[in-house]
Structure 1
Amino acid sequence: MSTTRFLVAGLMVMGLLASKPLGAQPAPSAGKVLRIAMTASDVPTTSGMPNNGYEGLRFLGYPVFESLALWDLSRADVLAELRPGLAERWEQDPSDAKKWRFHLRQGVRFHDGTTFDADAVIWNLDRFFRDGAPQAEPAGAAIVRGRVSGVASYRKIDDRTVEIETARPISYFPYLTVYILFASPKSFEEGGRDWGRVAASGAAGTGPFRITRFTPRQSVELSRNDNYWDTARRAKVDRVLLLPIPEANTRLAALRSGQVDWIEVPPPDGVQPLRQAGFNIVTNSYPHVWPWVFAAGKAGSPVADVRVRQALNYCIDRDGLVALLNGTAEPSVGFYNKSNPLFGRPQNAYRLDPARGKALLAEAGYGPQRPLRLTVGISTSGSGQMLPQPMNEALQESLREHCGVQVEFRVVEWNTLLGGLRASPDQPGWLGADALNISLVSSDPSQMARWFLGANVSPRGSNSGHWVDPAFDAAFTEVETATDPQAVSAAVTRAHERLVDGAPWLYVVHDLNPRAMSRRVRGFVSAQSWFQDLTTVDLQ
């Protein structure tokens, strides 16, 4: 039996096993209560900068806390773009491209009734960017700084205007501001100036929902904010109950039994039976890559050799993995989808080509007498991780079968893996691995800079593999400073070609963002984004 068929059969057997019922959950309040099963192994933190990756931001970020710019999640047919959020508008200083001015929206209040203004903006920026500030939050700061690099300074101009200066001109800086969320300073004071106590009750944000009940490791309940500043986007449901259920078949059982209305990432073998049973399966293209991040800058690692990284990209069966996932993903051969006009024309066209892979490995000194051995850190579950263990086992077998590569896994909990990705590849947090497996976002040039720019190597930024390529950096200097859209697109294309040929990642698949819902759920728009708008959702 082939590896892929064996894994599919294994998953089907798992699906036939009786899943244990969910633990006792708090009885939801009266009214329309939307119950969502997340893939996270724990409730994301509730202090105003959630952990658990972008799934945390999806469910305990934007629904409760907002940013100066927000994502437009109103359409399913186009890639989500920016829209004004807590800032009505912004502009780059024409005389100094490092400075951005944000004009704040009037009439916005936090859930505790206090006013959102420039003082609140500066207070939150100090929380994340000023070491030693009374309100400094190390955990939240680590998340924000990993996503938002290049902030040099900021100041209040007046009650409605804030200026942020970057360390260098960054044309895409508004795309970075979406990852700075704003919580009420009053929450911090009422929590005794202790972020742990703030999280226990839930901080106050400005969003369409507010935190009303939190049971550690079990659930968090959000209630509609009837005073939400955007009256056209006030929520239709009364409550949202979020439940961390990391095991896919347990989520499936919860949906089938009516314990939840919506599950993230149904098991692939359960998709067709769910359809036949009358559940809605929602998929859509979105900016998501599922790779191995190579420790390209780690001295002594075999993946420091570009020939090894390229070889591994020729040694895996992406089509077999898509079959394992029952068509809920598509092959990845670069950071962008191959159909993206910005993909370019790189020299390497990755596909399953064992002869090419073996030849490159031989050039690097590896073969039957000296097989390549790799250690890869993976998680048991987590935000956007699909089915990390079966998928990685398929890759392990594919590399062994096609190119004789031997892979050993170090399996850790999701947040442990995230912590490793914020460290340098030679630090203990990287688990002594040659690669870490994590799903990552590819929505816009800011994300390309985040993962690959030489200036953003961890722990300063999110280039956790420490891949540094002068040609990529040169192309991105033009991206950051150009004002002509065609020049920007041409530079992004050149940068992407370097990402393919430099192979800082093992490109595996692009996820199609599957979720399953009861037919009671109405009004959901599957945006081409990691984030989704819960305000449009209603229950029949």
Structure 2
Amino acid sequence: MTVSITSKGPDAHLDSDIVFLYIASPTALQKYGKDFAEHPVGTGPFVFQSLTRGQQATFTANKDYWGGAPKINKLVLKPMPDVSARLAALRSGEVNWAEAPNPDDIASLKSDGFQVFTNSYDHVWPWIFDLSYKPLSDPKVRRALNLAIDRETMAKELLKDTADPAYQIPAVANQAYDKGNDVYSYKLGEAKRLLAEAGYADGFTMSLSYPTSGSGNMQPGPMNQLIQADLAKIGVKVELKPIEWAAMLTSITTGKIPDQANAINISLTMLQESSWSMYFATNGYINVGHYSNPKVDKLLAQAQAEFHTTKRFQLYSQASKLIGADAPWLVVVNDRNPRVLGPDVHGFVQPKSWFVDLTTVSVGS
């Protein structure tokens, strides 16, 4: 009953990273071979029953779950990328639960008796700049773009307070957040001045690859269109290149920005501490923007070897300050993870995480 894990060196954040360590059943792998993905098994509260690709996945309660059997007997997941379709299904009773509602619909959903949940969690919604693209290779240009977007209006008016404005790399929910590191704000005049100093008084053109939907991506179309309009005020013309979520993931996990774009918009989290190095270390696994700062590399290496939690997150805060000054990302908002549940759903607790506990949930009058 003991699992031993050997690391290449001191790894102080193994306990947060291990949440993402998935262990496949050797028995199932041997039995199903290349078809293993069609017959998933695990030790969680629900047992896989069936899958109809593009339509739904069905699970049943694991009566032998170590934490106690769930209160619901069956769980059905339906992919509905169109937000209008999701809410129509919710209102008609086809589903009991809908993720990422259209912010404009929240008031009417509440008045109709639906439950709307939000919570601050460790999430950031950025553009990652390709620093090899000449205008974006200049930190003055990147800082100018960060000063040219109106995060407050986006969060309040477009997103109806389902997100918070982001003023630095880590979210407020992250232990590395230090208000003293808030470096971004809305200063249009300063943005224009920095662009002129960098030699781009008349602006420049760039392109952005962004997902049409997907985990934590909120309302990517309207949000990116609003940023596009904000940047146009300082002469920066942005071509928007929409892409399907799964295709984007395939590109980013191979270290590439899709469609030869100059930036990528993707929803991210630092819940897994090694994300700091994946995003910002010179040879980071998902450092698709080619950001490199030796001082940041040193701080991240120190953090990995620092087992005192407070001291470790102080190192992340120091790294955040340096990264904020370099502005390799356009930091926009932090999602509050809105979801809507039917009036007959009970026992749900909105977490400060992407991980949702369904064992406490029941459905009934």
TM-score, normalized by length of structure 1?
A: 0.65
Aligned partner of residue 127 in structure 2, secondary structure: strand
Hey, what does 1:446 align to over in structure 2?
A: 274
Task: Give secondary structure in 2 for the equivalent of 1:440.
Answer: coil
254, 264, 273: which one aligns with 2:99: 264
Aligned to 2:42: 205
* 1:348 Cα deviation after fit: 6.9
Rounded Cα–Cα distance in structure 2 between residues aligned with 1:198 and 1:222: 17
Structure 1's 183 and 482: CA in aligned 2 closer, same or farther, altered over 3 A?
A: closer
Q: Determine the structure 1 residue equivalent to 2:13.
A: 172
CA distance in 1: counterparts of 2:77 and 2:179, whole angstroms: 43
- Residue by residue over 1:446-469, the C-alpha shift from the partner in whole angstroms, topping out at 9 and shown as x without a partner, is 32222212232xxxx122222111
Partner SS state of residue 226, structure 2: helix
User: Aligned partners of 1:339, 1:483: CA distance in 2, in Å?
Assistant: 21
**CA offsets per residue over residues 167-221 of structure 1, 9 Å max, x none?**
x422112222211212222222222x21xx2223x22111111110110110000
**Aligned residue in 1 for 2:322:** 498
* 1:176–1:446 contact (8 Å) kept in structure 2: yes
Residues 1:422 and 2:256 are matched in the alignment: no
SS in 1 for 2:289: coil
The residue aligned with 1:405 is: 236
Distance in 1, matches of 2:237 and 2:206, equals 6
Instruction: Report the CA distance between 1:335 and its aligned residue.
Output: 1.8
> Any conservation in 1 of the 2:122–2:172 contact (CA below 8 Å)?
no
Partner of 1:373: 205
Tell me whether 1:431 sits opposite 2:269 in the alignment.
Answer: no
Q: Which consecutive unaligned segments of at least 5 residues does structure 2 have?
A: none
Partner of 2:165: 331
Taking the TM superposition and a 5 Å limit, the aligned residue runs for 1:184-203 are 184-191=25-32, 193-194=33-34, 197-200=35-38, 202-203=39-40
Q: Which of 135, 140, 159 does residue 302 from structure 1 map onto?
A: 135
- Is the contact made by 1:445 and 1:492 (CA closer than 8 Å) also made in structure 2? no
State the alpha-carbon separation in 2 of the partners of residues 511 and 479 from structure 1.
26
Contact 2:211 2:244 in 1 (8 A): yes
Q: 1:511, 1:347 → 2: CA distance?
A: 19
Please name the residue that 1:44 is paired with: none
CA distance in 1, matches of 2:162, 2:316: 28
| Correspondence for 1:89 | none
AA aligned to 1:468 is S
Structure 2 counterparts to residues 84-233 of structure 1, below 5 A: 106=1, 160-166=2-8, 168-191=9-32, 193-194=33-34, 197-200=35-38, 202-231=39-68
Distance 2:5 2:173 in 1: 38
Paired with 1:338 and 1:517, the residues of 2 have a C-alpha distance of 26
Max Rg structure? 1
1:291 to partner: Cα distance: 0.6
Q: How far apart, in 1, do the equivalents of 2:272 and 2:211 lie?
A: 26
- Matched-pair identity in %: 35
Match of 2:227 in 1: 395
Contact 2:59 2:74 in 1 (8 A): yes
Q: Whose relative contact order is higher, 1 or 2, with alpha carbons under 8 Å and at least 6 apart?
A: 2
Q: 2:177 aligns with which of 337, 343, 350?
A: 343
Residue pair 2:81, 2:214 contacting (<8 A) in 1 also: yes
Does the Cα contact within 8 Å between 1:266 and 1:514 map onto a contact in 2? Answer: yes
Flag the 1:472–1:525 CA change in 2: closer, same or farther, 3 A.
Answer: same
Deviation at 1:424, TM superposition (A): 3.4
Paired with 2:14 and 2:60, the residues of 1 have a C-alpha distance of 32
Offset, 1:345: 6.6
| Count of matched residue positions in the alignment of Structure 1 and Structure 2 | 363
Point out where structure 1 has 5 or more consecutive residues left out of the alignment: 1-105, 107-159
Could you tell me which of 433, 446, 455 is aligned with 2:283?
Answer: 455
Q: Secondary structure at the match of 1:454?
A: coil
Aligned partners of 2:198 and 2:348: how far apart in 1? 50
Amino acid at match of 1:497: K
Deviation at 1:304, TM superposition (A): 1.8
Matched, 1:243 2:41: no
For residues 308 and 42 of structure 2, the distance between their equivalents in structure 1, rounded to whole angstroms, comes to 37
1:475 aligned to 284, 287, 299, which one?
299
RMSD after superposition: 1.8
The answer as to whether partners of 2:174 and 2:270 remain within 8 angstroms in 1 is no
Distance 2:96 2:310 in 1: 45
Q: Secondary structure at the match of 1:408?
A: strand
User: What's the secondary structure of 2:194's corresponding residue?
Assistant: helix
TM-score (norm 2): 0.94
Q: CA separation in 2, counterparts of 1:396 and 1:471?
A: 32
Aligned with 2:10: secondary structure? coil
Cα distance in 2 between the residues matched to 1:182 and 1:207: 12
The Cα of 1:282 is off from its aligned counterpart by 0.5
* Residue 262 of structure 1: how far off its partner (Å): 0.2
Separation in 2 of the partners of 1:342 and 1:442?
A: 10
Counterparts of 2:172 and 2:240, CA distance in 1: 29
